[in-house]
Structure 1
Amino acid sequence: MIRFSLRIPADLHERVIAQAAVDRRSLNSEILHLLEAALPTLRTDTGTPGGDPASPAPLRGKPDSSPN
């Protein structure tokens, strides 16, 4: 796991602590849960070249395809 510091406003910190208590989770587990719920799951097998839907299509033709 990666460890990093995060600055958040005191009122947001209190809200996350309260939600963690309701859900019977640690603060760390609650933050992980909220992040996982908020972020879409990345699919690597989409059937597109390169496997990433955001990656551009591969170049076609000769490496130097400038007009003659």
Structure 2
Amino acid sequence: MNSEVRITLRLPSELRDRLDTRARADRRSLNSEIVHLLEVILGDPVEEADSS
């Protein structure tokens, strides 16, 4: 089961603007863009478990 957790995140306004611009270009919501970028940076959790 894929569960979600709500968090509060404080961002500098300039960073939020950059993320929003990128999200619009990628036709994603701001939330989806942040999740996407974190997944790209952190990698696939299945791959990490296999490499241990």
TM-score range for the pair, normalised by the shorter chain length: 0.7 to 0.9
In structure 1, C-alpha distance between the alignment counterparts of 2:50 and 2:22, rounded to whole Å: 35
Q: Which runs of 5+ in 1 are unaligned?
A: 47-52, 54-68
Q: TM-score scaled to structure 1, two decimals?
A: 0.62
> Quick one: higher RCO (CA 8 Å, sep 6+), 1 or 2?
2
Identical-pair percentage: 47
Q: Which runs of 5+ in 2 are unaligned?
A: none
- The 4+ residue runs of structure 1 with deviation greater than 3 A are none
| Structure with the bigger percentage of helix | 2
In structure 2, the partner of 1:44 is 49
Is it true that 1:30 corresponds to 2:33 in the alignment? yes
Q: TM-score scaled to structure 2, two decimals?
A: 0.78
